[in-house]
Structure 1
Amino acid sequence: MRIQLTFVLLFVAAVLQAQDIKISTKDNDLKLAALPYYSYGKGLGITSADSLFQLNIRFRMQNRIGFIKNEGEDDAYDGQIRRLRLRFDGYVGNPHFLYVLQLSFAPGDVGEIHDGENINIIRDAAVIYRPNRNWSFTFGQTKLPGNRQRVNSSGALQLTDRSINNAKFNIDRDFGLQAYYLNEKKDQFSYNLKAAVTTGEGRNWTKSPDNGVALTGKIELFPLGSFTKDGSNFEGDLAREKTPKLLFSGAYHQNNNARRTQGQLGDDLYQQKTLRSFFADAMFKYNGWAAMATYMSRASHNPVAVDPLDPTLTNYAYVGHGMDYQLSYTFPTNYEIIGRFSTQKANKDIKAFTPDTNEYTLGVTKYLWEHAFKLQAEFTYDRLSFNDGSTKNNWYVRFQIEIGI
């Protein structure tokens, strides 16, 4: 309760302090203040004649096809619309008060519909108060300030998808209140501070409430100044930084009495668990070269849950840790080569249920219009190591086209 009260008091103080500070409409790009997406264009914009209303429309889609070979299973082809997103943002009445709405329509985004569960069309629906260039306060459903690759838009990735560690450890979207203090400067030491108090249940949750909330805090450091064109929010050095740029960040998240196996994601647990997550990121860019390293972990006391109605049935919160290493070079012709290595280790309490994994990926991307229009090809190999000493080798090749405005 003390943490929540402190958060509210900081919000009120910032609002009072900012009353006499003006902000123009040109400062209302949401990619940093509310949704940290790489903005490769402004979309289709409409502003009313009296400047009291602004609407911006964007869309993007990812179409992919691949060949999958999993050991012990039949070979398979996979073709799908991986993502199909429609986004609206702008302001109403006053440029200090903004809104953002993002909808998803692809099957992989929406997921299977089960009896008693909500359809997952809504990804983001939030109102933002931005009193000045530094502060912003968001109320609604959107991404939490977690690890760098998760915070980046899926449209700003070098490879066709995020890493296996993001799939297991990320903290995803949630509903609640977020506060950002952004202090990025071009050629000098800079930093961002971000915090959130949310429900911990994930997006579009309307089942019974509980007595647990999720608390998130993050700090981002830019020892050599901010990246060109907000380059910390997209992968690869498309801006071809003229001087070296660095980002270090750390985030902590505690989801009290979580109902799902991965906090905001996953199946319902038989028993609620408190989950603690930690993220650390480093990013470097210079003259076409880009490198990233990430550590992710989740911990919980006694992660195995037992069905109170049938003690023979169990499930578990996914706990453990993982590392991602990614290196790339973007040629002046806008071709890019990328390599990524990921290692993932399950906690000893759940090793009997899930394997450790090493993943190796090589990719080639051709940027036709930055991240907005690109062609991607990749090869990924997974080596799974099970608790009984057995192993399994899986691999796939994939081609993907991304296009959007």
Structure 2
Amino acid sequence: MKIYRILFAIIGILSCLNAIAQDTELNSYTFGEGIDFDAEKGGKFKLEGYIQPYFESKGYSEVDETANRYRMRRMRLRLSGNSANERFSYRFQVDLAGANEVDDEEGNNYLLDAYIAYDITKRIEVAFGQRATYTDNRELFMNSYALQLVERSRLTSAFASIREFGLFLRGNFKTGNGTYLRPYFALTTGDGPNVFSKDRGGLKIGGRLDFLPFGTFTNFGQFRQADIVRERAPKLAVGVHYSHNNGMSSRRGRESGAIVYLDANNNESLPNYTKYGVDFIFKYLGFSVLGEYINADAFVPANISQRVRIDGSTSTNFDVNGTMNVDSYVRGRMMLGEAYNIQGGYIFKNGVSLDARYTHLIADENSFLNNATFYNRPNYYTIGVTKYLTRSYGAKIQASYTITDGSDGVNTNKGLPTTEDENIFRLILTLAF
């Protein structure tokens, strides 16, 4: 099945290129920034792509157990463009590696972006389709090939829904003295990417508000982590975001039907999920800092009386530590709690970057964040080094070392309980065109 999906994605891209390439000519090419084409009737489109071969080694402080992993982390192609009058635009992006955006679970996510956008005015754009949502933390605004460290933070993997299908609006308003206000709004299915099965629950509504007190960043720097362009004046973006998912059937809203509950009449009854946060990014002369805070909570309906097992059968067992408690059981399968992430770094003029990150997770009493196999690790300490091979994000080698706090009790790679720290070494190569 996987090979068929890859072939389908390749055929889709080639078909789009063949349709668009009629009466077009090459405009420009910048390494790492894609190939620009002009259409005879005035339209424009761009083809971009990159690969990221990856190595990871995970061990424990005093446990003789190490697991090594080799894989293609990402292998992406993106096609984007706009009409002759530039009011209509589109994006189509696939990942032939089929990997998830965050490295905490397996996935077959070949289709990433597929949406059409329209400029209502010069300051307001509306888009419909599948794309990265505006209601996640700021790190999800950053392109994957432009990450400061090898992997995204654990805050992102714990709480982000990443991509969703729905309606998206964004604005860009000058507010005087060189400042900008950027509001965002999203109305989505709340089930992550496009749902081919039953769409459960209600809709998800949310938004974000960003303020840029020192003007816009150079070369889309607000959406790229390290300050490779070395901003000559201080640049800052600070924002808040909020979302409410009415009836969610997964841990954090990434897929539909992963976790389903029923009432006494066999009707679906699903918990609501609310998330909010505040974040910022700052850049100046090669120095950059990213800070994020996020909080997630849930409302569990009182009429839940059954849960649906993986095989489709139902159960009325909601045992939590020897006591039947529906509210605690439901919450225990969701990502509830709060987290902080702070990271920063400096790029020297020779293209070497030194970076560091600290992430802290605070799990609710009943939350999947307490799961010893995947989480239950409150502190993550990471240092990294990157060598940029060009004066862009197009070619770089990155290495990082992470110490994960296992003092609350975690399971090793082989499922053995321990309170030792995890030690993770990662290495990744990025090549873009």
Q: Under a length normalisation based on structure 2, what TM-score does the superposition of the two structures give?
A: 0.77
- Asked if 2 retains the 8 angstrom alpha-carbon contact of 1:329 and 1:336, the reply is yes
Matched, 1:208 2:198: yes
3-state secondary structure, aligned to 2:349: coil
* Candidates 122, 143, 153, aligned match of 2:132: 143
- Asked if 2 retains the 8 angstrom alpha-carbon contact of 1:127 and 1:138, the reply is yes
Root-mean-square deviation (CA, aligned residues, Å) is: 2.8
Amino acid of the structure 2 residue aligned with 1:102: Q
Q: How far did residue 50 of structure 1 move?
A: 2.2
Q: Which residue of 1 aligns with 2:22?
A: none
Query: What stretches of structure 2 of length at least 5 have no aligned partner?
Result: 1-29, 262-269, 309-313, 319-328, 411-416
Amino acid of the structure 1 residue aligned with 2:284: Y
- Asked if 2 retains the 8 angstrom alpha-carbon contact of 1:246 and 1:283, the reply is yes
Per mean C-alpha deviation after superposition, the further-off stretch among 358-367 and 234-243 is 234-243
Q: Which residue of 2 aligns with 1:374?
A: 396
- Asked if 2 retains the 8 angstrom alpha-carbon contact of 1:273 and 1:317, the reply is no
1:296 and 1:364 map into 2 onto residues whose CA distance is: 27
Matched, 1:400 2:417: no
2:89 and 2:179 map into 1 onto residues whose CA distance is: 29
Q: How far did residue 329 of structure 1 move?
A: 0.9
Per mean C-alpha deviation after superposition, the further-off stretch among 159-168 and 71-80 is 71-80
Q: Which residue of 2 aligns with 1:307?
A: 307
2:253 and 2:64 map into 1 onto residues whose CA distance is: 30
Matched, 1:46 2:37: yes
Q: How far did residue 242 of structure 1 move?
A: 1.7
Q: How far did residue 41 of structure 1 move?
A: 5.1
Q: Which residue of 2 aligns with 1:77?
A: 68
- Asked if 2 retains the 8 angstrom alpha-carbon contact of 1:42 and 1:56, the reply is no
Summarize the alignment of residues 3-402 of structure 1 with structure 2, pairs less than 5 Å apart.
42-51=33-42, 53-70=43-60, 74-92=65-83, 94-109=85-100, 120-145=109-134, 146-183=136-173, 188-265=178-255, 268-271=258-261, 272-302=270-300, 307=307, 309-312=314-317, 316-350=333-367, 353-354=371-372, 355-369=376-390, 370-386=392-408, 391-402=419-430
2:143 and 2:31 map into 1 onto residues whose CA distance is: 11
Q: How far did residue 221 of structure 1 move?
A: 0.7
- Asked if 2 retains the 8 angstrom alpha-carbon contact of 1:303 and 1:317, the reply is no
Q: Which residue of 2 aligns with 1:19?
A: none
1:266 and 1:122 map into 2 onto residues whose CA distance is: 16
Q: How far did residue 45 of structure 1 move?
A: 2.7
Query: What stretches of structure 1 of length at least 5 have no aligned partner?
Result: 1-38, 114-118
Q: Which residue of 1 aligns with 2:15?
A: none
- Asked if 2 retains the 8 angstrom alpha-carbon contact of 1:303 and 1:349, the reply is no
The total of aligned residue pairs comes to 361
Q: How far did residue 290 of structure 1 move?
A: 1.0
Query: C-alpha deviations, 1:9-53, integer Å up to 9, x for none?
Result: xxxxxxxxxxxxxxxxxxxxxxxxxxxxxx9854123322222x4
Q: How far did residue 132 of structure 1 move?
A: 4.2
Q: Under a length normalisation based on structure 1, what TM-score does the superposition of the two structures give?
A: 0.82
Q: How far did residue 245 of structure 1 move?
A: 1.7
Amino acid of the structure 1 residue aligned with 2:352: Y
2:284 and 2:384 map into 1 onto residues whose CA distance is: 20
> % of aligned pairs identical?
25
Amino acid of the structure 2 residue aligned with 1:393: D
